[in-house]
Structure 1
Protein backbone atom coordinates (compact mmCIF):
# COMPACT_ATOMS: atom_id res chain seq x y z
CA UNK A 1 0.00 0.00 0.00
CA UNK A 2 1.45 3.36 -1.05
CA UNK A 3 0.20 6.12 1.16
CA UNK A 4 1.34 9.73 1.24
CA UNK A 5 1.06 11.66 4.50
CA UNK A 6 1.59 15.41 4.08
CA UNK A 7 2.32 18.04 6.71
CA UNK A 8 -1.29 19.19 6.43
CA UNK A 9 -2.43 15.64 7.10
CA UNK A 10 -0.27 15.49 10.22
CA UNK A 11 -1.70 18.83 11.36
CA UNK A 12 -5.28 17.57 10.93
CA UNK A 13 -4.57 14.45 12.96
CA UNK A 14 -2.82 16.50 15.64
CA UNK A 15 -5.86 18.76 15.83
CA UNK A 16 -8.16 15.74 16.21
CA UNK A 17 -5.98 14.39 19.04
CA UNK A 18 -5.93 17.77 20.79
CA UNK A 19 -9.72 18.12 20.53
CA UNK A 20 -10.31 14.61 21.89
CA UNK A 21 -7.91 15.09 24.80
CA UNK A 22 -9.60 18.31 25.93
CA UNK A 23 -12.50 16.13 27.09
CA UNK A 24 -10.42 13.66 29.09
CA UNK A 25 -7.36 13.14 31.24
CA UNK A 26 -6.37 10.28 28.97
CA UNK A 27 -3.73 10.50 26.25
CA UNK A 28 -3.95 9.31 22.63
CA UNK A 29 -0.92 8.56 20.48
CA UNK A 30 -0.94 7.58 16.77
CA UNK A 31 1.64 5.64 14.75
CA UNK A 32 1.74 4.45 11.13
CA UNK A 33 4.29 1.81 10.15
CA UNK A 34 4.79 1.05 6.48
CA UNK A 35 5.92 -2.50 7.33
CA UNK A 36 6.68 -4.08 10.71
CA UNK A 37 8.91 -6.90 9.42
CA UNK A 38 10.85 -7.95 6.35
CA UNK A 39 9.47 -11.50 6.74
CA UNK A 40 12.78 -12.75 5.35
CA UNK A 41 12.43 -15.92 7.41
CA UNK A 42 9.06 -16.64 5.81
CA UNK A 43 10.49 -16.31 2.30
CA UNK A 44 13.44 -18.52 3.20
CA UNK A 45 11.15 -21.16 4.67
CA UNK A 46 8.96 -21.29 1.55
CA UNK A 47 12.02 -21.35 -0.73
CA UNK A 48 13.70 -24.13 1.24
CA UNK A 49 10.53 -26.23 1.36
CA UNK A 50 9.89 -25.83 -2.34
CA UNK A 51 13.52 -26.59 -3.21
CA UNK A 52 13.34 -29.78 -1.17
CA UNK A 53 10.07 -31.07 -2.58
CA UNK A 54 9.77 -29.79 -6.16
CA UNK A 55 12.70 -31.78 -7.64
CA UNK A 56 11.37 -34.98 -6.08
CA UNK A 57 8.09 -34.40 -7.90
CA UNK A 58 9.41 -33.37 -11.31
CA UNK A 59 12.73 -35.12 -11.89
CA UNK A 60 11.21 -38.60 -12.43
CA UNK A 61 9.35 -37.14 -15.41
CA UNK A 62 12.53 -35.67 -16.87
CA UNK A 63 14.89 -38.60 -16.50
CA UNK A 64 14.72 -42.19 -17.67
CA UNK A 65 15.97 -44.39 -14.85
CA UNK A 66 15.29 -47.70 -16.62
CA UNK A 67 18.43 -49.76 -17.12
CA UNK A 68 18.84 -52.45 -19.84
CA UNK A 69 17.92 -55.87 -18.57
CA UNK A 70 19.85 -57.91 -21.14
CA UNK A 71 22.53 -59.24 -18.82
CA UNK A 72 25.22 -56.77 -19.92
CA UNK A 73 25.07 -54.50 -16.83
CA UNK A 74 28.82 -54.78 -16.19
CA UNK A 75 29.56 -53.42 -19.63
CA UNK A 76 27.40 -50.41 -18.88
CA UNK A 77 28.88 -49.42 -15.50
CA UNK A 78 30.56 -46.33 -16.89
CA UNK A 79 27.41 -45.22 -18.69
CA UNK A 80 25.31 -45.80 -15.58
CA UNK A 81 27.74 -43.79 -13.44
CA UNK A 82 27.67 -40.93 -15.94
CA UNK A 83 23.87 -40.96 -16.03
CA UNK A 84 23.67 -41.02 -12.24
CA UNK A 85 26.07 -38.05 -12.08
CA UNK A 86 23.94 -36.16 -14.55
CA UNK A 87 20.82 -36.93 -12.50
CA UNK A 88 22.44 -35.65 -9.32
CA UNK A 89 23.66 -32.53 -11.09
CA UNK A 90 20.19 -31.87 -12.49
CA UNK A 91 18.69 -32.49 -9.05
CA UNK A 92 21.02 -29.94 -7.42
CA UNK A 93 20.50 -27.42 -10.22
CA UNK A 94 16.73 -27.74 -10.05
CA UNK A 95 16.85 -27.20 -6.28
CA UNK A 96 18.89 -24.04 -6.70
CA UNK A 97 16.57 -22.69 -9.41
CA UNK A 98 13.45 -23.46 -7.41
CA UNK A 99 14.94 -21.94 -4.24
CA UNK A 100 15.88 -18.66 -5.92
CA UNK A 101 12.63 -18.47 -7.88
CA UNK A 102 10.37 -19.04 -4.88
CA UNK A 103 12.44 -16.71 -2.71
CA UNK A 104 12.17 -13.87 -5.22
CA UNK A 105 8.48 -14.55 -5.78
CA UNK A 106 7.71 -14.31 -2.07
CA UNK A 107 9.52 -10.97 -1.83
CA UNK A 108 6.70 -9.39 -3.86
CA UNK A 109 4.54 -7.64 -1.22
CA UNK A 110 1.21 -9.05 -2.39
CA UNK A 111 2.61 -12.59 -2.58
CA UNK A 112 4.39 -12.19 0.76
CA UNK A 113 1.12 -11.26 2.47
CA UNK A 114 -0.57 -14.26 0.85
CA UNK A 115 2.02 -16.82 1.96
CA UNK A 116 2.65 -15.41 5.43
CA UNK A 117 0.35 -17.10 7.99
CA UNK A 118 -2.18 -14.69 9.45
CA UNK A 119 -1.06 -15.57 12.96
CA UNK A 120 2.52 -14.60 12.13
CA UNK A 121 1.44 -11.23 10.73
CA UNK A 122 -0.83 -10.51 13.69
CA UNK A 123 1.89 -11.46 16.15
CA UNK A 124 4.50 -9.22 14.54
CA UNK A 125 2.12 -6.27 14.25
CA UNK A 126 1.24 -6.69 17.90
CA UNK A 127 4.90 -6.88 18.85
CA UNK A 128 5.72 -3.75 16.83
CA UNK A 129 2.80 -1.89 18.41
CA UNK A 130 3.98 -2.86 21.90
CA UNK A 131 7.48 -1.66 21.07
CA UNK A 132 6.11 1.72 20.02
CA UNK A 133 3.89 1.82 23.10
CA UNK A 134 7.01 1.59 25.23
CA UNK A 135 9.36 3.60 23.02
CA UNK A 136 7.00 6.59 22.76
CA UNK A 137 6.33 6.65 26.50
CA UNK A 138 2.62 5.91 26.25
CA UNK A 139 3.03 3.78 29.38
CA UNK A 140 4.36 6.58 31.61
CA UNK A 141 1.35 8.89 31.87
CA UNK A 142 0.40 9.94 35.40
CA UNK A 143 -2.68 7.74 35.70
CA UNK A 144 -1.58 5.12 33.15
CA UNK A 145 -4.34 6.23 30.79
CA UNK A 146 -2.51 6.26 27.46
CA UNK A 147 -3.94 4.75 24.26
CA UNK A 148 -1.90 3.84 21.19
CA UNK A 149 -3.47 3.63 17.73
CA UNK A 150 -1.09 1.68 15.49
CA UNK A 151 -1.59 1.00 11.77
CA UNK A 152 0.63 -1.42 9.80
CA UNK A 153 0.15 -0.63 6.12
CA UNK A 154 1.85 -3.57 4.44
CA UNK A 155 0.14 -6.01 6.80
CA UNK A 156 -3.25 -4.27 6.45
CA UNK A 157 -3.75 -4.43 10.21
CA UNK A 158 -4.61 -2.06 13.04
CA UNK A 159 -3.71 -2.46 16.72
CA UNK A 160 -5.05 -0.50 19.66
CA UNK A 161 -3.22 -0.78 22.97
CA UNK A 162 -4.59 0.81 26.15
CA UNK A 163 -2.56 1.16 29.34
CA UNK A 164 -3.35 -0.72 32.54
CA UNK A 165 -5.17 2.21 34.14
CA UNK A 166 -7.76 2.01 31.36
CA UNK A 167 -8.22 -1.77 31.47
CA UNK A 168 -9.33 -1.49 35.08
CA UNK A 169 -12.39 0.51 34.00
CA UNK A 170 -12.98 0.02 30.28
CA UNK A 171 -14.04 -3.20 28.59
CA UNK A 172 -11.85 -4.19 25.65
CA UNK A 173 -14.88 -4.29 23.34
CA UNK A 174 -15.29 -0.54 23.80
CA UNK A 175 -12.46 0.02 21.31
CA UNK A 176 -13.86 -2.19 18.54
CA UNK A 177 -15.61 0.65 16.74
CA UNK A 178 -12.50 2.81 16.64
CA UNK A 179 -10.44 -0.07 15.23
CA UNK A 180 -13.13 -0.88 12.65
CA UNK A 181 -13.39 2.74 11.47
CA UNK A 182 -9.63 3.13 11.12
CA UNK A 183 -9.32 -0.18 9.27
CA UNK A 184 -12.11 0.75 6.86
CA UNK A 185 -10.69 4.17 6.04
CA UNK A 186 -7.15 2.86 5.59
CA UNK A 187 -8.50 0.27 3.17
CA UNK A 188 -10.08 3.13 1.22
CA UNK A 189 -6.76 5.05 1.24
CA UNK A 190 -8.14 7.75 3.59
CA UNK A 191 -5.69 7.64 6.50
CA UNK A 192 -6.40 11.13 7.79
CA UNK A 193 -10.15 10.57 7.94
CA UNK A 194 -9.55 7.18 9.54
CA UNK A 195 -7.27 8.44 12.29
CA UNK A 196 -9.42 11.51 12.95
CA UNK A 197 -12.55 9.37 13.35
CA UNK A 198 -10.78 6.73 15.44
CA UNK A 199 -9.23 9.38 17.69
CA UNK A 200 -12.64 10.96 18.22
CA UNK A 201 -14.16 7.61 19.19
CA UNK A 202 -11.27 6.89 21.56
CA UNK A 203 -11.74 10.33 23.08
CA UNK A 204 -15.41 9.60 23.72
CA UNK A 205 -14.58 6.34 25.50
CA UNK A 206 -11.91 8.01 27.61
CA UNK A 207 -14.13 10.97 28.46
CA UNK A 208 -16.78 8.68 29.95
CA UNK A 209 -14.31 7.06 32.33
CA UNK A 210 -11.53 9.63 32.71
CA UNK A 211 -12.86 13.19 32.71
CA UNK A 212 -10.31 16.01 32.52
CA UNK A 213 -8.51 16.94 35.73
CA UNK A 214 -8.35 20.53 36.99
CA UNK A 215 -4.70 20.45 36.00
CA UNK A 216 -4.83 18.55 32.73
CA UNK A 217 -1.34 18.61 31.23
CA UNK A 218 -0.68 17.28 27.77
CA UNK A 219 1.67 14.42 28.60
CA UNK A 220 2.25 13.08 25.07
CA UNK A 221 2.84 14.93 21.79
CA UNK A 222 -0.29 15.39 19.70
CA UNK A 223 1.12 14.26 16.39
CA UNK A 224 1.34 11.26 14.09
CA UNK A 225 4.52 9.19 13.99
CA UNK A 226 5.32 7.73 10.58
CA UNK A 227 7.81 4.85 10.59
Structure 2
Protein backbone atom coordinates (compact mmCIF):
# COMPACT_ATOMS: atom_id res chain seq x y z
CA UNK A 1 0.00 0.00 0.00
CA UNK A 2 1.23 3.48 -0.81
CA UNK A 3 0.05 7.00 -1.57
CA UNK A 4 -0.25 8.00 -5.21
CA UNK A 5 0.54 11.57 -6.29
CA UNK A 6 -3.20 12.18 -6.50
CA UNK A 7 -3.64 10.87 -2.94
CA UNK A 8 -0.88 13.14 -1.68
CA UNK A 9 -2.40 16.17 -3.40
CA UNK A 10 -5.83 15.39 -1.94
CA UNK A 11 -4.46 15.05 1.59
CA UNK A 12 -2.44 18.26 1.33
CA UNK A 13 -5.51 20.10 0.04
CA UNK A 14 -7.51 18.76 3.01
CA UNK A 15 -4.81 20.01 5.40
CA UNK A 16 -4.83 23.46 3.81
CA UNK A 17 -8.62 23.71 3.96
CA UNK A 18 -8.78 22.49 7.56
CA UNK A 19 -6.13 24.91 8.81
CA UNK A 20 -7.95 27.91 7.34
CA UNK A 21 -10.56 27.45 10.09
CA UNK A 22 -8.29 26.83 13.07
CA UNK A 23 -5.17 27.92 14.91
CA UNK A 24 -4.19 24.28 15.10
CA UNK A 25 -1.61 22.62 12.88
CA UNK A 26 -2.14 19.23 11.25
CA UNK A 27 0.86 17.25 10.07
CA UNK A 28 0.78 13.91 8.24
CA UNK A 29 3.57 11.34 8.11
CA UNK A 30 3.36 7.96 6.39
CA UNK A 31 5.86 5.13 6.57
CA UNK A 32 6.26 1.84 4.72
CA UNK A 33 7.12 0.09 7.98
CA UNK A 34 7.95 1.29 11.48
CA UNK A 35 10.55 -1.31 12.38
CA UNK A 36 12.60 -4.18 11.02
CA UNK A 37 11.52 -6.50 13.86
CA UNK A 38 14.86 -8.29 13.74
CA UNK A 39 14.09 -9.91 17.09
CA UNK A 40 11.22 -11.93 15.64
CA UNK A 41 13.25 -14.36 13.47
CA UNK A 42 15.75 -14.97 16.27
CA UNK A 43 13.03 -15.56 18.87
CA UNK A 44 11.14 -18.00 16.67
CA UNK A 45 14.33 -19.81 15.58
CA UNK A 46 15.44 -20.25 19.18
CA UNK A 47 12.00 -21.45 20.25
CA UNK A 48 11.67 -23.99 17.44
CA UNK A 49 15.24 -25.22 18.01
CA UNK A 50 14.28 -26.22 21.55
CA UNK A 51 11.96 -28.77 19.98
CA UNK A 52 14.94 -30.71 18.58
CA UNK A 53 14.97 -33.47 21.24
CA UNK A 54 11.20 -33.85 21.00
CA UNK A 55 11.46 -34.24 17.21
CA UNK A 56 14.02 -37.01 17.66
CA UNK A 57 11.81 -38.82 20.16
CA UNK A 58 8.77 -38.51 17.91
CA UNK A 59 10.92 -39.87 15.09
CA UNK A 60 11.60 -43.02 17.08
CA UNK A 61 15.19 -42.26 18.07
CA UNK A 62 15.99 -43.50 21.58
CA UNK A 63 18.97 -44.40 23.75
CA UNK A 64 19.28 -47.99 25.00
CA UNK A 65 21.82 -49.38 27.45
CA UNK A 66 22.85 -53.05 27.50
CA UNK A 67 21.23 -55.45 29.91
CA UNK A 68 23.29 -55.73 33.10
CA UNK A 69 22.33 -59.35 33.38
CA UNK A 70 23.38 -60.27 29.86
CA UNK A 71 26.98 -61.07 30.68
CA UNK A 72 28.25 -57.51 30.34
CA UNK A 73 30.79 -56.16 32.74
CA UNK A 74 30.25 -52.84 34.49
CA UNK A 75 33.05 -51.30 32.40
CA UNK A 76 31.43 -52.47 29.17
CA UNK A 77 28.02 -51.13 30.23
CA UNK A 78 29.52 -47.77 31.09
CA UNK A 79 31.41 -47.55 27.81
CA UNK A 80 28.46 -48.49 25.63
CA UNK A 81 26.04 -46.25 27.56
CA UNK A 82 28.42 -43.31 27.25
CA UNK A 83 28.77 -43.84 23.50
CA UNK A 84 24.99 -44.08 23.07
CA UNK A 85 24.41 -40.96 25.13
CA UNK A 86 27.06 -39.06 23.17
CA UNK A 87 25.47 -40.12 19.89
CA UNK A 88 22.03 -39.05 21.07
CA UNK A 89 23.36 -35.72 22.30
CA UNK A 90 25.11 -35.00 19.00
CA UNK A 91 21.96 -35.92 17.13
CA UNK A 92 19.91 -33.54 19.29
CA UNK A 93 22.40 -30.71 18.76
CA UNK A 94 22.43 -31.29 15.01
CA UNK A 95 18.63 -31.34 14.88
CA UNK A 96 18.46 -28.12 16.88
CA UNK A 97 20.95 -26.45 14.55
CA UNK A 98 18.96 -27.52 11.49
CA UNK A 99 15.69 -26.31 13.00
CA UNK A 100 17.28 -23.00 14.04
CA UNK A 101 18.70 -22.22 10.60
CA UNK A 102 15.59 -23.38 8.71
CA UNK A 103 13.25 -21.34 10.92
CA UNK A 104 15.49 -18.31 10.74
CA UNK A 105 15.49 -18.40 6.94
CA UNK A 106 11.70 -18.73 6.76
CA UNK A 107 10.84 -16.08 9.36
CA UNK A 108 13.28 -13.62 7.81
CA UNK A 109 10.89 -13.35 4.84
CA UNK A 110 9.26 -9.92 5.40
CA UNK A 111 5.65 -11.05 5.13
CA UNK A 112 6.25 -14.01 7.45
CA UNK A 113 8.22 -11.89 9.90
CA UNK A 114 5.40 -9.35 10.15
CA UNK A 115 2.75 -12.07 10.52
CA UNK A 116 4.66 -13.75 13.36
CA UNK A 117 5.47 -10.53 15.23
CA UNK A 118 2.99 -10.10 18.11
CA UNK A 119 0.53 -7.28 17.49
CA UNK A 120 1.26 -5.48 20.82
CA UNK A 121 4.94 -5.39 19.85
CA UNK A 122 4.10 -3.84 16.47
CA UNK A 123 1.77 -1.36 18.16
CA UNK A 124 4.53 -0.28 20.53
CA UNK A 125 6.99 0.17 17.65
CA UNK A 126 4.49 2.24 15.63
CA UNK A 127 3.73 4.39 18.66
CA UNK A 128 7.43 4.94 19.35
CA UNK A 129 8.18 6.02 15.79
CA UNK A 130 5.17 8.36 15.77
CA UNK A 131 6.51 10.05 18.91
CA UNK A 132 9.93 10.33 17.28
CA UNK A 133 8.38 12.05 14.27
CA UNK A 134 6.37 14.37 16.50
CA UNK A 135 9.58 15.65 18.04
CA UNK A 136 11.65 15.55 14.83
CA UNK A 137 9.12 17.64 12.88
CA UNK A 138 8.90 20.23 15.69
CA UNK A 139 5.18 19.85 16.32
CA UNK A 140 5.87 20.71 19.95
CA UNK A 141 7.17 24.16 18.95
CA UNK A 142 3.97 25.69 17.60
CA UNK A 143 2.92 28.96 19.15
CA UNK A 144 0.02 27.59 21.21
CA UNK A 145 1.17 23.95 21.34
CA UNK A 146 -1.69 23.01 19.01
CA UNK A 147 0.04 20.57 16.69
CA UNK A 148 -1.61 17.28 15.69
CA UNK A 149 0.37 14.47 14.10
CA UNK A 150 -1.35 11.77 12.07
CA UNK A 151 1.08 8.90 11.54
CA UNK A 152 0.35 5.91 9.30
CA UNK A 153 2.46 2.76 9.03
CA UNK A 154 1.40 0.73 6.01
CA UNK A 155 3.09 -2.63 6.67
CA UNK A 156 1.54 -2.93 10.12
CA UNK A 157 -1.82 -1.47 9.00
CA UNK A 158 -1.67 0.80 12.04
CA UNK A 159 -1.95 4.51 12.70
CA UNK A 160 -1.35 6.92 15.57
CA UNK A 161 -2.72 10.35 16.33
CA UNK A 162 -0.72 12.52 18.72
CA UNK A 163 -2.01 15.89 19.92
CA UNK A 164 0.28 18.39 21.64
CA UNK A 165 -0.35 19.47 25.22
CA UNK A 166 -2.18 22.66 24.23
CA UNK A 167 -4.85 20.50 22.60
CA UNK A 168 -4.72 17.56 24.99
CA UNK A 169 -5.64 19.87 27.86
CA UNK A 170 -8.95 20.72 26.16
CA UNK A 171 -9.80 17.67 24.05
CA UNK A 172 -10.43 14.21 25.47
CA UNK A 173 -8.65 11.36 23.65
CA UNK A 174 -11.95 9.72 22.66
CA UNK A 175 -12.82 12.79 20.58
CA UNK A 176 -10.29 11.63 18.00
CA UNK A 177 -11.92 8.22 17.64
CA UNK A 178 -14.00 9.29 14.65
CA UNK A 179 -10.93 10.56 12.81
CA UNK A 180 -9.06 7.33 13.50
CA UNK A 181 -12.08 5.28 12.43
CA UNK A 182 -12.19 7.12 9.10
CA UNK A 183 -8.48 6.54 8.61
CA UNK A 184 -8.52 2.84 9.46
CA UNK A 185 -11.59 2.30 7.27
CA UNK A 186 -9.67 3.73 4.33
CA UNK A 187 -6.66 1.54 5.09
CA UNK A 188 -8.81 -1.59 5.26
CA UNK A 189 -10.30 -1.02 1.84
CA UNK A 190 -6.94 -0.10 0.31
CA UNK A 191 -7.78 3.60 -0.05
CA UNK A 192 -5.11 5.10 2.18
CA UNK A 193 -5.34 8.55 0.60
CA UNK A 194 -9.10 8.79 1.08
CA UNK A 195 -8.84 7.59 4.67
CA UNK A 196 -6.07 10.02 5.51
CA UNK A 197 -7.90 12.96 3.92
CA UNK A 198 -11.06 12.05 5.83
CA UNK A 199 -9.11 11.91 9.09
CA UNK A 200 -7.59 15.33 8.36
CA UNK A 201 -11.04 16.82 7.76
CA UNK A 202 -12.36 15.33 10.99
CA UNK A 203 -9.37 16.64 12.95
CA UNK A 204 -9.92 20.05 11.33
CA UNK A 205 -13.52 20.07 12.54
CA UNK A 206 -12.44 19.29 16.11
CA UNK A 207 -9.75 21.96 16.07
CA UNK A 208 -12.00 24.59 14.47
CA UNK A 209 -14.54 24.11 17.25
CA UNK A 210 -12.06 24.44 20.10
CA UNK A 211 -9.31 26.52 18.50
CA UNK A 212 -10.99 28.68 15.84
CA UNK A 213 -8.81 30.70 13.50
CA UNK A 214 -7.73 34.17 14.59
CA UNK A 215 -8.74 36.55 11.76
CA UNK A 216 -5.91 38.91 12.70
CA UNK A 217 -3.11 36.33 12.99
CA UNK A 218 -3.34 32.76 11.76
CA UNK A 219 0.12 31.85 10.46
CA UNK A 220 0.80 28.49 8.86
CA UNK A 221 3.53 27.30 11.22
CA UNK A 222 4.16 23.91 9.64
CA UNK A 223 4.26 22.84 5.98
CA UNK A 224 1.13 21.17 4.62
CA UNK A 225 3.10 18.52 2.76
CA UNK A 226 2.70 14.81 3.47
CA UNK A 227 6.01 13.33 4.63
CA UNK A 228 6.80 9.85 3.32
CA UNK A 229 9.41 7.99 5.36
CA UNK A 230 11.57 5.12 4.09
CA UNK A 231 11.34 1.69 5.68
CA UNK A 232 12.84 1.76 9.18
Contact 2:2/2:154, CA 8 A, preserved across alignment: no
- Counterparts of 2:161 and 2:71 in 1: how far apart (Å)? 75
The two structures, once aligned, show a CA RMSD in angstroms of 1.7
Pairing 1:50–2:38 present: no
The question of whether the paired residues in 1 share the 8 Å contact of 2:21 and 2:213 is answered with yes
* In the alignment, structure 1 residue 125 sits paired with structure 2 residue 126: yes
2:5 equivalent in structure 1: 7
1:184 and 1:194 in contact (8 A); partners too: yes
Q: Distance in 1 between matches of 2:209 and 2:171?
A: 9
Question: Displacement of 1:81 after TM fit?
Answer: 4.1
1: CA distance, partners of 2:85 / 2:41: 32
Contact 1:109 1:154 in 2 (8 A): no
Three-state SS of the structure 1 residue aligned to 2:23 is coil
Query: 1:142: Cα distance to partner?
Result: 0.4
- CA distance 1:169–1:13, change in 2 (3 Å): same
1:78-157 correspondence runs (5 A): 79-157=80-158
What's 2:207 paired with? 206
Aligned residues: 224
8 Å CA contact 1:33, 1:152 repeated in 2: yes
Deviation (angstroms), 1:152:
1.1
Superposition deviation, residue 83 in structure 1: 3.2
Structure 2: tracts of 5 or more residues without a match? none
TM-score by length of 1: 0.91
Counterpart contact for 1:17–1:222, Cα < 8 Å: yes
Q: Which residue matches 1:216?
A: 218
Report if aligned partners of 1:36, 1:128 keep a CA contact under 8 Å in 2: yes
Displacement of 1:183 after TM fit? Answer: 0.8
Residue of structure 1 equivalent to 2:72: 72
1:42-82 residue CA offsets vs partner (Å, 9 max, x unmatched): 22122112212x11312223423122212315446555444
**Quick one: distance in 2 between partners of 1:211 and 1:93?**
69
- Counterpart Cα distance in 1 of 2:54 and 2:71: 31
**Deviates further, 217-226 or 70-79:** 70-79
Q: Secondary structure of the residue that 1:20 maps to in structure 2?
A: helix
Greater displacement, 39-48 / 155-164: 39-48
Instruction: Give the whole-Å Cα distance in 2 for the aligned partners of 1:40 and 1:57.
Output: 27
